Amino acid sequence: MKTYDVFLEYYDKIVRSINNPLEDEVEFLVEDCIKEYKPETKTILETACGTWEVARELIKKWYKLTGLDISEKMLEKAEKNMNKKDLVLADMTDFNLEKTFDTILCNYNSICHLLKWEQWQAFFDMSNKHLEKDGLLVFDINTLYEFDNITNDFAQFYNFGNDTVCLEMNKKDWIYEWLVKIFKKSSNLENTEIVPVQKDKKWIQGTGTEYTLIEEVVRENSFPINKIKKELKEKWFKILEMIDYHYGEVIAQSERVYFICKKK
């Protein structure tokens, strides 16, 4: 099943909703991470850059950005916002850009898209290889606590004009799976059936509108904080700070945790 192919049309609006404005996130990355711990930063590599939303804001603050993502579609959308030559289609667990950066970012729990622990280890290796000495690595995770909470929660619904997106999370074989259901308006029909019915993956609603159901799956995983800390230290990173994005102090119930690390 596909991942992010159609969902990316709605993705930015869902993740950067009223509760999580992009400006707050960028201010946090710039003021609390980069300026605090690596103020001389000029070059930034954003791994798993997605549609370039964060990078676009960082460029406005005069940083020189390179973006890397595994999804061709994400990068196609990113290209509308920026120069193609600064985008790299690659897997963040295995790439060689033949240069180093002052800061590497991996934002919005993108590291959780790496399902196996060995891939997390490979990402830390790649970061180490592509950072200047004293370079900064900033990434955030959704904790296991948060994924378990979302799994136990009700499905989430978002309306976009005529389209509706439904997100629900399930846990399968220790992997967390977002099942993304997109009900996309395909046409208005003559018939005005009152009750929604499903026929060959098409839904017909009372308004006489036909919807196509598109399903995608986004898989994620996380690991205990202590395991991540130990690995970073073994990979020659010094952990400067760990921050609960919502409440500051990291506790057992933290949902989203940032790791701010320096290459030794």
Ligand X SMILES: C[S@@+](CC[C@H](N)C(=O)[O-])C[C@H]1O[C@@H](n2cnc3c(N)ncnc32)[C@H](O)[C@@H]1O
Binding residues for ligand X, per CB under 6 A? Answer: 4, 48-50, 53-54, 69-71, 74, 91-93, 107-108, 110, 113-114
Minimum gap (Å) between residue 230 Cβ and ligand X: 22
Instruction: Identify which of residues 176 and 211 has a Cβ nearer to ligand X in the complex.
Output: 176
Least distance (Å) between residue 16 CB and ligand X: 8
Smallest gap, in angstroms, from Cβ of residue 69 to ligand X? 5
Closest CB 119 distance from ligand X, rounded Å:
7
Tally of CA atoms within 13 A in the half-sphere of 192 that contains its CB: 1
Our CB check for ligand X shows the closer of 91 and 148 to be 91
Q: How far is the CB of 116 from ligand X (least distance, A)?
A: 11
Closer of 180 and 204 to ligand X (Cβ): 180
Report how far residue 175's alpha carbon sits from residue 155's, in angstroms, rounded to the nearest whole number: 18
Cβ-based nearer residue to ligand X, 30 or 189: 30
Q: Which is nearer to ligand X, 74 or 204 (CB)?
A: 74
For ligand X, give the closer residue by CB, 108 or 124: 108
Strand partners, 87: 67
Neighbours of 50 (CB within 10 A): 23
Rounded Cα gap, residues 106 and 141, in angstroms? 9
Residue number closest to ligand X, CB atom:
50
* DSSP tag of 76: H
- Supply the DSSP symbol for 33: I
Q: What would the two tokens of residue 121 be? A: 């280890």
Distances, alpha carbon 98 to alpha carbons 22, 128, 131, 200, in Å: 31, 13, 11, 50
Give, for 168, the enclosing helix (H) or strand (E): strand 163-172
The distance of closest approach from Cβ of residue 206 to ligand X in the complex, given in angstroms and rounded to an integer, is: 35
What span, in angstroms and rounded, lies between the C-alpha atoms of 144 and 194? Answer: 42
